[in-house]
Structures are given as C-alpha cells and as structure tokens.
Structure 1
C-alpha cells in the first residue's frame, strides 16, 4: 500500500541527500572541487546576466531586441556581477593545460587529446544548429516578419562566438601553455591605443582583441597550472590591479561602464573585447583565485557539490540553450498579450521587478532543454555486455506497483548516481 502523501516530501529530501552522498563518495580525493565550482558559477553568471539584460519587445506584430541598460544606465553594475566569461576562460586554460600535460605523460597523441576535448565542446552545437535551422525555416514559411526572425536567430546563435574562440584556444594549448599573460595584454592595449587613442588602423583591427583579449585569462589559467598563482598575494595583485585599471579607463578614458554591449552605444566593451573588459577580467580572475580555499571548504558539503556536478555535467548545454529558453517563453506567452517584464520596453524599475519574477520560468524551460539535449553533450556511453547496467535506473524505477514515494526516492538516487559516474569518468 502506498505511504501517506505527507511522507513523500520527507522521503524525497532523504533521497536527495542520499544521492548527494553518492556523488560526494564517487569524487576522487585528488579532484580540485573549487575548479568545478568556478566553472559552474561562471556559466550561471552568464546565463543570469543575459536573462536580466536581454529584452524582446513586442511591437506592431514583431519582436525586437532591447536592453534595460539602454534606458537604465544605473544598472551597469549588473554587468559587473554577471559578465563572468573571464572566469570561464581562466578555468578553461587551467583544465586544458593540466589535461594536455597528463595526456602527454600517458603517451596520448595531440590529435586524440584534441578530439576528446573538442568533441565534448562542440557536440551540443549540432543539436542547436539542427533545431534552429528547422525553426527558422518554419518561421519563414509561416510569414514571420524578417525583423523578428533576425532577432531570434541572432540571439539563439550568439553563444557560438564564445565556443569558436574557446575551441581555437583549446587547440592552441600546447603553444600557449607557457605564454605570459602580459603578451596578449600588451596586444590588447596597443590595439585600443590605435583604435581609440590615435584613431588609425583598419575597421577590423578591433577584432584582433577577440583572440588576444580572451587569451589573457586563458594564459592565467596556464600559469595557475604551473603553480605561479598559488599565493594569496598574486590573487590580490590581480584583483586590485585589474579593478584600479578598469576604474581608471572608465572614469578618465571614456570606456563604457557596462561590461556588456548596450544597443545604441558606439563602443561595446565585449564585442570585441576592449582593454577595460580585459582588465575587469583580471580583477574577476583575482577574486576567483582568492576564493579557492573557501570554495573547497564549501564543496565538502554533499548537497552543494552535487549541485555543482549537475551544472558541470551539462555546462555547454546550459550555455547554448539559455537564450532559446528565454525566447521560447517570450514567444509562447505572447498569445496572452503583451506581458510586463517579458514583452514591454525595459525602461523602468517596474520592468526589472517583473523580469525577476520571470526568471524561475526561464529556468524551468531551460531545465526542459537540458533534459532534451544533454545527451548530445555527454555522448554515447557503451557498457560492457552482460554488465546488467544497460538500462537507465531512472527508467527502471517506473515499474507498476511501486509507490510514488519509492519511485521518487530511487529516481533521485539514480539520477544523481549516474551524474557522478558520468561526470568523473569524462572530465578531468
């Protein structure tokens, strides 16, 4: 007989804790949990930042992109908190250089190592491109205005520029593993001097910073691997030096205060990266390095660690689909009329308040996208014949005769257990 309903939440919570304990127990003692925590925070920072500063305004039967930063410049600090790409490149450089060194020590050829790294990075892109090719074709055939179609496709595919740069830097890891961050920083400074100081050079010159700008935190990650950033003093120098330089550039050199692009502004700190964006990234990296010990302590808590493992397992899926989740919610809800915080012009504090209420809805839709497309990131995992583990535990628990509480218990335990196994088998 099924147990009383009041016991179900308690049993589910107990199952969640048991699953988290399994994740914790499956983690090798040598694993630096702070690295995974920083990667998760960087990805979630970008996601929340985009959800807060990206608006789709419904106007005369079309959807156009807008930003509250255009109307509410006092919200610029939001971009300081959530533009966390530098931390992701810091972690990426650290993990890639460590992984490459380990592969060389084991005799793994560069080509095989690179295929493994890029496979996990680029497989989720195929799912995104496939769905949006079909969606864009359907929208075009049904008479969707070109302005709306351009807005949606541009937002959906905008994360791909990041992956392209990250893939190039990953491929160049053996070449930049010992490169000092001062060299790409000097390139960025010279490019900005020519662009904004001397007003000379070709129109494409700024795009040199797309590689050089993100190479700065990437090579900082390599320096971390070499043990050059272990001291608290090094992290403090990065934090204070980067923050001071950024403040000076914004206050005296005319750089925008926002660390993301703002529609209508002549200069974007992010597209391509400016010197202000790079120095701000140095400050973020310094703060991240200073927080390592606290993060390691926090990640000893099984529930916190299980949450970080879940995010890391689908990091690229979450990053690639978060704009689609926003647009799907916006387009679907448009059937109910122009809703505040979703379809209205982001020109006041009321819009901000309503947008905060929409964030849980975006998160729910993103969770559905993660469930549907996470297998593209994880890839197929063949199990030995006769292992008895060919079917998913999540599927097996839905058998007739099981009580609801028991199904919830084993479902959560199975999901978290598989997450731990997959996460630690496939990622360094």
Structure 2
C-alpha cells in the first residue's frame, strides 16, 4: 500500500515536459520481452529435465520474433533518456563521470542483488547434494538477462563520447555505424574472417542508441510524416534481407549473436512506429490511470527484467517434475493450450520476486558530487563490472564453479560494484 501511494504521488508530480511516450514504450517492451522468453521455453521431463527453445523446433514461431524482439526499443528509449539526463546534468555543473555513476546506479544495484542471490542459492544447492551440472544449468537460465545488460551498460558508459559525436555529426553517426555492421556481417558470413563480426555486439546497439539522441533533440521529429515512412522503409528492408535471405527470419539467435543488418532493419521499423504513435500516446497518457500504471511498471522494470528467467526456472521445477504440466510436443494444439497456465504460474512467481526485490531498485542510491566524482575508482569499477558480466554471460550452461558461474567473473563483478558504490558515496 505504501509503495502504491508513493507511485501515485510520483505519477501526479510528473513534470509537464516529460516524454511519457518513452516510458510507455519501455513498459510495453518489458512485457513483450518477458512474455516472449516464457513462450519460447520448451521443457520435457522423463526422470531428468531437458529443454530448449521452441524456435529451434517450430518454424512458424520464428515469425513471431518480429513482434517479441523489442530489445531495439530499450536502446532507442535509453538513448532518448540518456541524452536528456546528460544535458540536464551538465547544465547543473556535472561531469561525464558523475553522470555515469548516477545513471548506472539503478542498473547495477538490482543486478548485484540477483547475482548475490544466485551465488548463495547455488552454494546451498551444492551442499544439499544437487547435481553440479543441474545447478550450473539453472544458474545459466536465470542469468540469461546478463547478455543484454552487458551491451546496455557499455553503451551507457560511452554515452558522453557518443553524444558529443551526435551533436557534431547528427544522423551521420548511426548511418556510419550501420555501414560498419554491414561490413562485419560480410566479414563473418562471406569472408569467414573470425572475430570481426563480434564488434557488432556494440556497434549495432550504439546505432539504435544514437537514434534515441536524434529523437530527443528533434532531428527525428515525433510526427506521422516522419514515423510512417521510416517504419515502411525499415519493414521493406527487413523483408528483403530475410525472406529471400541471406539472413534468417528469426530475430532471435543468428540475428542477435551478433546483431546484424536485419536486426537494424527491425529497429528502424520500430523507431518509425514509435515516432508515428507518439502524438496519440501523449494525449492518452495525460489520463491519470494509464500513466500511473506506466509509472508503476517503470519503477521496477530492471527487477522484472532481471528476475523473469528465475521465475521460469522456478516454474519448471514446480510444474514438470511434479507432473502438473504434461509433456506435449512443442507447437502442438495441446502444448499451445497449456501455455495459458504456464504463463499464469510464471506471472505469479515473478510478482512474488518483484515484491521481495523491487524495493532494491526503488531505493534511492548515493549521488556523487557532480563536480568532484572520483574518476579512477569509477572507471575501474565500471570496467570490472563489465568484464565480470561478460565473462559470466559467455560461459554458457554447465558447471563453471561452486556458484554455477565462473568464480573470477563473480569476484570481478562484486569488486567493481563495490568500487562504483564507493565512488557514488
């Protein structure tokens, strides 16, 4: 009750100049991500748990990724919000480092809680005699969101540099980044050049993030005359790149590991739709009820994202070994019908997790002196956090140490998080 009262007060105190449409897009995107991930999980149990992705066995499901792959929306909105907050921070006398400390605080805090809980849970499971491979697989499933977080934190850390390029060169920056993504695709797919395409993990998301800068300063105006042509151009490019090839139709898997031109075509489509829909969305969000819902979702959005795969792992253990959900072929009518109780149970588990861990995200963090943030601890902390998360993300399922993840990765992450916390205070 107290949390809801605070949310209603926060919604009522929203300044008139705030772009509410950006917050709505973020809320819709998190709902799509959670639902899409849950629907993609395919589990069987015949004495041992086995599973995979429905996209690997049900070809028609791959088309649905055009709706559920909304990671570009997060980077688009992130670029919009980053540009606005960085500009405001500098107007108050802040530095790039102090802005980074403030901006990453709400991302790192709930991530630290997730990794701490996973570490303790994995160690407890080992003590209880649970098979080490099963522990590692469970931790890997729960930690899948770290893939996104590595890229997003890296882009946030580069925001001051990239925003400086944006102010000087505008839309030429995302255009150049898109060209570089295409070069990486060619090197990886046609030339067989190793590792070159891996740069797209950063370049592609930076390109979408830069579009958020242009949205924020009006170079991409939120008008139907701008949004609709961009959306149609992106859709034409997406169809042209995937239906005849050479890119697969699915926007999950080969088009995200690493990101490709096809994914950027989807990003252009989503950006155009966002711009096209903003005038109507702005009017609708002036109503207190829908805006309060949007504020409520955004107040725990990182918690929802970080814990939704933990909810899936707990749901698997609760529903399949007990026989509550039977084994049905993926994509069959019976399997589709069983997605209803599956989603309901996972939603209840996630709601409980958010109730427990949501306050960690909502709690105000330490704010550094904008004029005197310690540079070296901040940069070292950020590097350690990114290195630890990246090492944990690429490890994959399996037994990687007592906590289910590489021990060195956890040590690096927690040391980096401690340095960032020290720098903020």
Deviation, structure 1 residue 380: 4.5
Hey, what's the Cα distance between the residues in 1 that align with 2:67 and 2:37? 12
Aligned residue number for residue 304 of structure 2? 318
The question of whether the paired residues in 1 share the 8 Å contact of 2:187 and 2:197 is answered with no
Q: TM-score, normalised by structure 2?
A: 0.79
2:322 pairs with 1:336:
yes
2:12 pairs with 1:25:
yes
Aligned residue number for residue 192 of structure 2? 200
Aligned residue number for residue 348 of structure 1? 332
The question of whether the paired residues in 2 share the 8 Å contact of 1:65 and 1:151 is answered with no
Instruction: Give 2:344's match in structure 1, choosing from 347, 357, 360.
Output: 360
2:248 pairs with 1:256:
yes
Aligned residue number for residue 410 of structure 2? none
Aligned residue number for residue 239 of structure 1? 231
Hey, what's the Cα distance between the residues in 2 that align with 1:344 and 1:140? 31
Q: Deviations over 1:232-262 (max 9, x none)?
A: 333223211111111111122232111112x
Hey, what's the Cα distance between the residues in 2 that align with 1:322 and 1:19? 24
CA RMSD of aligned residues (A): 2.4
Alignment of 1:71-220 (within 5 A): 71-177=57-163, 178=166, 180-196=173-189, 198-202=190-194, 204-220=195-211
Deviation, structure 1 residue 162: 1.1
2:265 pairs with 1:279:
yes
Hey, what's the Cα distance between the residues in 2 that align with 1:98 and 1:307? 23
Structure 2 residues without counterparts, runs of 5 or longer: 367-425
Aligned residue number for residue 38 of structure 2? 51
SS at match of 1:260: coil
Hey, what's the Cα distance between the residues in 2 that align with 1:303 and 1:191? 46
Deviation, structure 1 residue 206: 2.5
SS at match of 1:252: coil
Hey, what's the Cα distance between the residues in 1 that align with 2:54 and 2:154? 33
The question of whether the paired residues in 1 share the 8 Å contact of 2:66 and 2:250 is answered with yes
Hey, what's the Cα distance between the residues in 1 that align with 2:220 and 2:354? 35
Hey, what's the Cα distance between the residues in 2 that align with 1:356 and 1:68? 16
2:359 pairs with 1:372:
no
Aligned length: 358
SS at match of 1:336: coil
- Which stretch of structure 1 is more off in the superposition, 284-293 or 19-28? 19-28
Residues 1:101 and 1:144: Cα distance change in structure 2 (over 3 Å): same
Bigger Rg, structure 1 or 2: 1
Deviation, structure 1 residue 351: 1.0
Aligned residue number for residue 256 of structure 2? 270
Hey, what's the Cα distance between the residues in 2 that align with 1:134 and 1:375? 20
2:218 pairs with 1:227:
yes
Structure 1 residues without counterparts, runs of 5 or longer: 1-11, 262-267, 383-428
Instruction: Give 1:39's match in structure 2, choosing from 14, 17, 26.
Output: 26
